[in-house]
């Protein structure tokens, strides 16, 4: 039997759709309720300008402004990047939290048209999401492929990021489903829809960039919490267990949870956010108070 690119495209597309439960429109989805599934005022779509010279237009989903929210949760999604599938998590937030999730550059209605393969550039482009009100703190969340992007953001903007959560973090370790999808995807990449094509492109470019990511990770001073499902066939749980153990970071395992905790396991995910926030606030309380400056010369003379 003669195999063509088209014969590979159909099974790959079917696999991607079944794994990610992605409808042909934002509303055609049962597993991932989107923004239209919730009452008006629950969330809103906005645009912002990317923090890079190209000034791409980036589309994002966020909670309306909540003056009482003392923490802002910034989500860096996996790949393909679709903010709409974080709607259940966003809708489940307590009133004391705000959230914003972008369609990363190269996905959905965000610019540019082509993939942005440079993880550091992704981090720069998404940095405007870290802006917060005076007194408001920021929890940065990286999901799957978004975990290395979030790691670089937390390192480069340490003064703006108070805590980090890494969800089903992908640092190059692929489970059987990801291996299968990526293998077929590279063969048929040219005939895939734009978002799937760009997804394959950025995953293909990740490995050479990981040494810089690991350098950034080792230098993080903020609390970092990992959360991972034990039924994840995209990224093995063992990968995050190994990283968390090596660097002394908190790991939360979700029994029965798959790769898409923002769909299957929203309460567990929200609990992980609160764990990271508690670690950050606990660290503040444990820090000794700053000593007042001392006068080197009580008589008021010039100091030597």
> What is the CATH number for 81?
3.40.50.1820
Please state, in angstroms and as integers, the Cα–Cα distance from residue 141 to each residue in 6, 32, 147, 222, following that order: 37, 19, 7, 12
Specify the pLDDT at position 32: 73
pLDDT(14) > 70: no
Digit-coded pLDDT (tens) for 97-129: 999 999 999 999 999 999 999 999 999 999 999
Q: What digits encode the pLDDT tens for the residues 153-210?
A: 999 999 999 999 999 999 999 999 888 877 776 677 677 899 999 999 999 999 999 9
In this model, does residue 293 exceed pLDDT 70? no
Domain-located, residue 232: yes
Residue 301 included in any domain: no
**Can you give the residue range of the structural domain that contains 103?**
5-286
CA 199/CA 107 separation, integer angstroms = 9
pLDDT reported for residue 285: 76
How does pLDDT run across 141-155, given as a tens digit for each residue? 999 999 999 999 999
DSSP string spanning 50-103?
Answer: -SSTT--EEEEEEPPP-TT--EEEEEE--SS--GGGGHHHHHT--TTEEEEEE-
- pLDDT of 287 above 80: no
Choose among 124, 76, 128, 112: nearest CA to 198. Answer: 112
The pLDDT mean for the chain works out to 86
CA–CA dist 141, 247 (Å, integer): 18
Q: Report pLDDT for 24.
A: 35
pLDDT recorded at residue 28: 42
Q: Measure the CA–CA gap between 149 and 128, rounded to whole angstroms.
A: 14
Distance, in Å, from the CA atom of 229 to the CA atom of 255, rounded to the nearest integer, reads 6
The per-residue pLDDT for 100 is 98
Position 304 in a domain: no
pLDDT in tens, 47-86: 999 999 999 999 999 999 999 999 999 999 999 999 999 9
Our count of domains for the chain comes to 1
Asked, for residue 299, whether it belongs to a domain, the answer is no
Task: Give the pLDDT band of residue 7 (cuts 50, 70, 90).
Answer: very low
**Tokens standing for 89?**
């998590």
Assess if residue 295 is contained within a domain: no
More confident: 83 or 286: 83
What share of the chain in percent tops pLDDT 70?
83
Residue 18 in domain: yes
Whether 62 is covered by a domain: the verdict is yes
Residue 292 lies in a domain: no
């Amino acid at each position: 039997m003669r195999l063509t690119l088209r014969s590979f495209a159909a099974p790959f597309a079917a696999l991607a759709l079944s794994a990610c439960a992605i409808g042909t429109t934002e509303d055609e989805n049962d597993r991932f309720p989107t923004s239209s599934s919730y009452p008006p005022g629950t969330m809103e779509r906005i645009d912002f300008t990317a923090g890079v010279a190209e000034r791409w237009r980036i589309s994002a989903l966020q909670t309306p402004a909540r003056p009482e929210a003392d923490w802002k949760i910034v989500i860096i999604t996996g790949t393909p990047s679709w903010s709409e599938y974080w709607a259940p998590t966003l809708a489940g937030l307590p009133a004391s939290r705000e959230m914003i999730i972008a369609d990363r550059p190269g996905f959905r209605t965000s610019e540019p048209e082509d993939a942005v393969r440079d993880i550091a550039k992704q981090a720069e482009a998404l940095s405007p999401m870290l802006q917060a009100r005076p007194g408001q703190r920021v929890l940065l969340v990286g999901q799957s492929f978004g975990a290395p992007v979030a790691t670089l953001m937390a390192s480069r903007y340490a003064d703006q990021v108070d805590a980090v959560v890494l969800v089903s973090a992908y640092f190059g370790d692929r489970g059987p489903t990801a291996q299968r999808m990526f293998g077929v995807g590279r063969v048929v990449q040219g005939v895939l829809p734009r978002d799937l094509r760009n997804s394959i492109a950025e995953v293909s470019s990740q490995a050479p960039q990981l040494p810089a990511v690991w350098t950034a990770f080792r230098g993080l001073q903020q609390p970092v919490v990992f959360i991972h499902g034990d039924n994840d066939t995209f990224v093995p749980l063992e990968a995050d267990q190994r990283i968390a153990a090596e660097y002394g970071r908190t790991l939360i395992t979700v029994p029965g949870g798959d790769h898409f905790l923002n769909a299957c396991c929203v309460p567990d995910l929200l609990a992980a956010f609160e764990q990271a926030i508690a670690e950050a606030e606990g660290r503040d309380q444990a820090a000794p108070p700053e000593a007042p400056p001392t006068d080197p010369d009580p008589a008021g003379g010039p100091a030597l």
